[in-house]
Amino acid sequence: MPTRNRTRNRSSLAHQVRYATQHPTRIAPYLRRLARDWNIRRRTRGDHVAYYRAVMKSDTSRNPRGAVGTPTEQRWNALGKMQFDYLTGHGLSPDDRMLEIGCGNLRAGHRFIDYLESGHYHGVDISPDILLAAQQTLADQGLQHKLPYLTIVGDLRLTHLPDDAFDVVHAHSVFSHSPLTVIDECFRHVGRVLAPGGFFDFTYNRTDGEEHQVLNEDFYYRPSTLAALAEVHGLHARVMDDWEELPHKQSKMRVRAANAAESVTDTAAPTQTAEQPARKKPRKEPPRRTSARKTPETPDT
């Protein structure tokens, strides 16, 4: 597998000068992002959700499909399929109930909706503009009859959702755009909506050096920071090594309720407690895959 430089600090002046010298065509787009960042930051005054909602409004108005980080239709399809294949490879089954946090324009969501039983897919997002694009995807794919729930949210407290409801919670390329306060809020509440035995998979920008951010848009975390934060909220996190072999620049973690995590690889059925009904089936971790490989500078998110 090609090795990635996981210690560089992309916010440092030295990195930016070096990067600009090596990629002169990316200077103008970066300066446009810088101007946008300054403008939106001034208007939203430290409210990250309002900030990122404005980013999505701007991106969606330019390209409703590309706004989620894949500029071409071909890459949009490929990134959606990669997410879908990964979760089905990890045992997602049609009768599971799934919550997708930051569902965007259903790049992967339309595949999950098609695969899952009617009404089993719930997508939430902070951006009304991207949810309109999601509705268009639903119509384009002829999936209206699957009756997915697509809901706008203002935070990640998940208050409109019931306890123990979801076998799989999924957030692809959302924490890569989130400050730690947003991730903390999500960890605090996600355990409540996870069904017994369920798990929450999320991707993030990994650094093994100094944690940093580029503008207010891209955040880089050490896995140990996220694992420790999960622990605070009674969740156990682990790095998903098989995701690292795929051609995607972010890393992936899986969290479960800490008491459930210990028995993950057990072949025996999970223990039933008075408070928690037994899950409909025990989940076993699949063998490692060795298919596509991660490339050092895959641009999509």
Ligand X SMILES: C[S@@+](CC[C@H](N)C(=O)[O-])C[C@H]1O[C@@H](n2cnc3c(N)ncnc32)[C@H](O)[C@@H]1O
Tell me the C-alpha to C-alpha distance, in Å, between residue 217 and each of 56, 104, 173.
Answer: 11, 16, 11
Does residue 177 belong to the site contacting ligand X (CB under 6 A)? Answer: yes
C-alpha distances (whole Å) from 126 to each of 135, 163, 166, 171, 232 are 15, 21, 20, 13, 25
**Does residue 193 touch ligand X according to CB under 6 A?**
no
Work out the number of other CB atoms within 10 angstroms of the CB of residue 260. Answer: 21
Residues 115-174 that bind ligand X (CB under 6 A): 124-127, 130, 153, 156, 172-174
Q: Does 68 bind ligand X (CB under 6 A)?
A: yes
Query: CB-wise, 56 or 87, nearer to ligand X?
Result: 56
Question: Under the criterion CB under 6 A, does residue 270 sit at the interface with ligand X?
Answer: no
What minimum distance in Å lies between the beta carbon of 126 and ligand X? 4
User: Which of 178/216 has CB closer to ligand X?
Assistant: 178
Distances in whole angstroms, Cα of residue 279 to Cα of each of 89, 170, 186, 200, 260 = 19, 18, 23, 15, 11
Q: Give the number of residues in contact with ligand X, rule: CB under 6 A.
A: 25
Strand, helix or coil for residue 195: strand
Helix axes 27-44, 48-62, angle to 10 degrees: 140
CA distances to 3, 9, 67, 78, 170 from 92, rounded to whole Å, are 30, 36, 27, 19, 11
Least distance CB 281 / ligand X (angstroms): 26
Binding track over 20-59 against ligand X, x by CB under 6 A? -----------------------------x--x---x---
Name the segment binding ligand X (CB under 6 A); options: 28-36, 100-108, 144-152, 245-253. Answer: 100-108
Site string (204-233) toward ligand X, x via CB under 6 A: ------------------------------
What is the greatest pairwise CA distance in the chain?
A: 62
Can you give the binding site for ligand X, defined by CB under 6 A? Answer: 49, 52, 56, 68-69, 101-104, 107-108, 124-127, 130, 153, 156, 172-174, 177-178, 182, 301
